[in-house]
Amino acid sequence: MEQRRRLVTAIPGPRSQELMARKKAAVAFGVGTTMPVFAAGAGGGVVVDVDGNHLIDLGSGIAVTSVGASDPRVVAAVTEQVRAFTHTCFMVTPYEGYVAVAEALNRLTPGTHDKRTALFNSGAEAVENAVKIARLATGRPAVAVFDHAYHGRTNLTMAMTAKSMPYKHGFGPFAPEVYRAPLSYPYRDGGLSGADAAARAIDQLDKQVGAANLAALVIEPIQGEGGFITPAPGFLPALAGWCREHGVVFIADEVQTGFARTGAWFASEHENVVPDLIVTAKGIAGGLPLSAVTGRAEIMDAAHTGGLGGTYGGNPLACAAALAAIETIEQDGLIARAGRIGELLTARLSALRDGDPRIGDIRGRGAMIAVELVEADSGRPDAALAKAVAAAAHRRGVIVLTCGTYGNVLRFLPPLTISDDLLHDALDVLGEALAG
């Protein structure tokens, strides 16, 4: 696949417009799309649409295709597996791939303690299971989550997700015993130190819930949908320390930050935090649906036989893809590559910020970088600007996503296989889009 931005029609082209009309007639209105184009192929750092336009991919299908969307090792592994068998159900007649993925996750996740893993299909399903396990292991009901958090769209994870529109609006009532604490948000909390922000959160949880009632504290080490909010140093370790002291299970939701994305296997590692349980999905399986809960054996094994599972959890095709994706990340040095992508993005975005007060903040780690756009005079979130810049980039052939509680954050999550040339071209386009 040619690794170059090339537009041969307007965006969207005629074939995409035809398909969009069919979508409108056949697909539920609630399922939205970021781009008005339909994909025909994807790989490296490029998505090719049905009209033959080559678009630069700065989204990786929301942080999924870290090894690219058609890595030959993933394709070969899945092809071999699909010929052997597509499914038996691990709970009926198990197969080696599932066990091998569990072994790999036990090896790769932070900490040298004895670990166990259970596999599921989606990030939300894994988050739910992590909470189930923590409740059983502790015998406690309550769950602590944070402002701006995103954990999914199922009933329990909607309760855990902070933002109402579009994720929760009208879909209640929500699951009980979920309590929200204030986050560390250096750009907007007056530069509160990590330790002070943690003390504020702990004080609130202590007063309003009580540690003795808390089964788990669930946190994204860098918030994804919430705006790539990167807590001040010390925030995560202080929370983890408090959890340890009070027998609260510390659960890192690394669905978006995990699997090499931030320049480490897991974002928790940047602050030497060892979560009790760690939730993974997205980048784990080269684009196939797979998620996992990995953690301390004594917590994971609290659940009775038959208490955890699901028809498709750890599907053999997804497991084959995951093993190939892990091998690819290791063989191709993609963790270091994520770090270099972060340096390039940060340098180019910093240059754009000089002289442009609308770029309020640049943050994130590795290949997970964002800019928060604000009104130049007031510093208020500027969602309209983010929307306009994203739309202008889309028209010029760059797939870029927005996020944030206020919708004013542009986020960059390219495949780790993208070339420097494509990144520079995309940043040129972004500069033009910002210039209006």
Positions in the binding site for ligand PLZ (CB under 6 A): 62, 122-124, 127, 150-153, 220, 224-225, 253, 255-256, 281
Query: In this structure, what token pair is assigned to residue 94?
Result: 């198990």
Least CB distance to ligand PLZ at residue 221 (A) = 9
Classify each residue of 141-153 as buried b or exposed e, where b means 16 or more C-beta atoms within 10 Å of its C-beta. ebbbbbbbbbbbe
Q: Smaller CB distance to ligand PLZ: residue 125 or 425?
A: 125
Q: Give the other-Cβ count within 10 Å of 35's Cβ.
A: 20
Alpha carbon distance 68, 420 (integer Å): 15
Q: What distance, in Å, lies between the first and last C-alpha atoms of the chain?
A: 31
Least CB distance to ligand PLZ at residue 220 (A) = 5
Strand ranges of the sheet holding 142-146, from the earlier edge strand across to the other edge: 115-120, 291-296, 277-280, 249-253, 214-219, 142-146, 178-181
Q: What is the DSSP letter of 231?
A: P
Least CB distance to ligand PLZ at residue 395 (A) = 22
Least CB distance to ligand PLZ at residue 223 (A) = 7
Q: Smaller CB distance to ligand PLZ: residue 201 or 255?
A: 255
Q: Smaller CB distance to ligand PLZ: residue 49 or 254?
A: 254
Least CB distance to ligand PLZ at residue 277 (A) = 13
Q: Smaller CB distance to ligand PLZ: residue 130 or 308?
A: 130
Q: Smaller CB distance to ligand PLZ: residue 209 or 255?
A: 255
Q: Residues 141, 146, 147, 151: is their CA dihedral positive or negative?
A: negative
- Residue appearing with tokens 């402002």: 147
Least CB distance to ligand PLZ at residue 253 (A) = 5
Least CB distance to ligand PLZ at residue 420 (A) = 27
Q: Smaller CB distance to ligand PLZ: residue 127 or 300?
A: 127
Q: What is the DSSP letter of 374?
A: B
Tell me which residue has its CB nearest to ligand PLZ.
123
Give the angle 276-280-282 at the CA atoms, nearest 5°.
Answer: 165
Q: Smaller CB distance to ligand PLZ: residue 254 or 382?
A: 254
For residue 138, the Cα-to-chain-centroid distance in whole angstroms is 27
Q: Smaller CB distance to ligand PLZ: residue 59 or 316?
A: 59
Least CB distance to ligand PLZ at residue 331 (A) = 26
Give the angle 373-410-430 at the CA atoms, nearest 5°.
Answer: 90
Closest CA to 265 of 189, 193, 366, 378: 366
Alpha carbon distance 85, 276 (integer Å): 34
Q: Smaller CB distance to ligand PLZ: residue 225 or 425?
A: 225
Spatial neighbors of 105 by CB under 8 A, at least 6 apart, are: 115, 117, 280, 292, 294
Least CB distance to ligand PLZ at residue 405 (A) = 14
| 433 touches 58 (CB < 8 A) | no
